[in-house]
Chain A
């Protein structure tokens, strides 16, 4: 079994298509929707965690690309500017997945990109504008 966290972007003509349903039904994938958003110009963005056998996962992502859905790994959308972080720890208590975590001996904050679900809760909490989400 493999797991992938991706951002998928729907062009307006696919907004009314049950794309996630097909991923589940036809490719036997487990879909966990971490975030969903439709912007005013009717572009849909979905943050998904997709789990399944490697072949099914590849086929599913191929299907998405074929129908015209853009697929990006989630990681590239979240940036932590290490040099701006002061390790004040203000972000630690808000992060729901512990992607932002603290080494309590060193009292230093670390960011584990693979745990981040791009929920953006840390953005208003960071006083140093150290986290940027290009979502």
Chain B
């Protein structure tokens, strides 16, 4: 018998919901059987804690007296430029934004020790940051410069807005060249000296709901330690890739766009992150509940690390030059063992997404649901799935003709 989200919410309110994490559910269903477990289990919690570059936050900092129009001038937070192409005092801070001419980045390979993501972490931890701006001045916004400390509490709104998070699977990065390379997948040693991966595997949200049957627009989630919502599919959403028989994509596939009130979040779950020689990014903690509406949905949440395959990609040549293909595929059980074989050579593996923190998130979300603090929401619309025909296009460049 199928359940509804409304029925599950009734049980949550009474403190009677049966909740498992995406890890616990594997053994439980194996023991109980799919049919009985589908009746009994209400929610499976999924989670991930990894670097996600397409993240950011927007703020309304309040009006100065006299008023200033930040747009059209230059605005910085702690010397990191922010985007102000909105109304007077709304601004957007991107996770990967960096101070202009940071001396720490000038010496090869560059440390990238500070940027937008670190500001988000500092703001969320309650710290003051420096807001500085110059503007052109108008009749209604006459002021031309501003220098002040500001904290999250001082702001009217502070909203985390991430256009691409929670990648459904990712590449395993190696380096086939004969020099060390510095990438967003970490430092890669020459001649396939190591392999880095980045997914929570069997705990990862979209790997537990591979066809987006429950995660949709409006799904309420754990985001950065607070509560957030799924806005829709993320950018580069690519549901049509090759999948296993169980429906699990074998390469980077679906993505989510997420938002939530930054003021409710915690610096434990939003971390400024520095990739030597590459840049700055934000590590985001995400937890997504999957309502167990029927057996099929439960079946998907039983996915194990050994069922999830990722492609080994050369980041010295194939990735930067957009040369398709892979050096082979491995599963997450192999990746988490610390060693894989690539082209007959055994190499060490390391993760970039923290499995132990993902485990903490699924437990927190489970606790929230069990204690009635967190209700599930009904998605208002599905996100495009494998049958949508969506193709992730490269940029087709068309030379701009100069006018004579």
| Cα-based distance from A88 to B271 in the complex (angstroms) | 12
Q: How many A-B residue pairs have CB under 8 A?
A: 72
Report A-chain residues with C-beta under 8 Å of the C-beta of B189.
94
Known A90-B196, A92-B350, A124-B276: A129·B113 in contact at CB below 8 Å? yes
Choose, from B70-78, B211-219, B248-256, B352-360, the stretch at the interface: B352-360
Size of A's binding interface in residues, CB under 8 A: 19
Contact with B along A95-113 (1 / 0, CB 8 A): 0000000101011100000
Instruction: Tell me which of B182, B274, B277, B281 contacts A129 (CB under 8 A).
Output: B274
Cβ–Cβ contact B351 & A86, under 8 A: no
Report B-chain residues with C-beta under 8 Å of the C-beta of A128.
271, 273-274, 283
Instruction: Tell me which of A94, A107, A129 contacts B356 (CB under 8 A).
Output: A107
Cβ–Cβ contact A107 & B359, under 8 A: yes
Is A48 part of the contact surface with B, judged by Cβ < 8 Å? no
Cβ–Cβ contact A88 & B354, under 8 A: yes
Which residue of chain B has its CB nearest to the CB of A109?
B356
Cβ–Cβ contact B276 & A125, under 8 A: yes
Cβ–Cβ contact A94 & B187, under 8 A: yes
Report A-chain residues with C-beta under 8 Å of the C-beta of B113.
129
Report A-chain residues with C-beta under 8 Å of the C-beta of B271.
86, 128
Is B85 part of the contact surface with A, judged by Cβ < 8 Å? no
| Cα-based distance from A93 to B336 in the complex (angstroms) | 12
Shortest B129–chain A CB gap in Å is 18
Contact with A along B184-197 (1 / 0, CB 8 A): 00110100001010
Cβ–Cβ contact B194 & A127, under 8 A: no
Is A87 part of the contact surface with B, judged by Cβ < 8 Å? yes
Which residue of chain B has its CB nearest to the CB of A92?
B350
Known A107-B359, A127-B51: A88·B276 in contact at CB below 8 Å? no
Instruction: Tell me which of B51, B348, B354 contacts A87 (CB under 8 A).
Output: B354
Instruction: Tell me which of A89, A106, A124, A129 contacts B351 (CB under 8 A).
Output: A89
Contact with B along A65-102 (1 / 0, CB 8 A): 00000000000000000000011111111100000001
Known A102-B338, A127-B273: A90·B348 in contact at CB below 8 Å? no
Residues in A lying within 8 Å of B, measured CB to CB = 86-94, 102, 104, 106-108, 124-125, 127-129
Other than the given A88-B351, A92-B338, A127-B51, 13 more pairs (CB < 8 A) read A86-B283, A87-B355, A93-B338, A104-B337, A104-B338, A107-B354, A107-B356, A107-B359, A124-B277, A125-B276, A127-B275, A128-B271, A128-B274
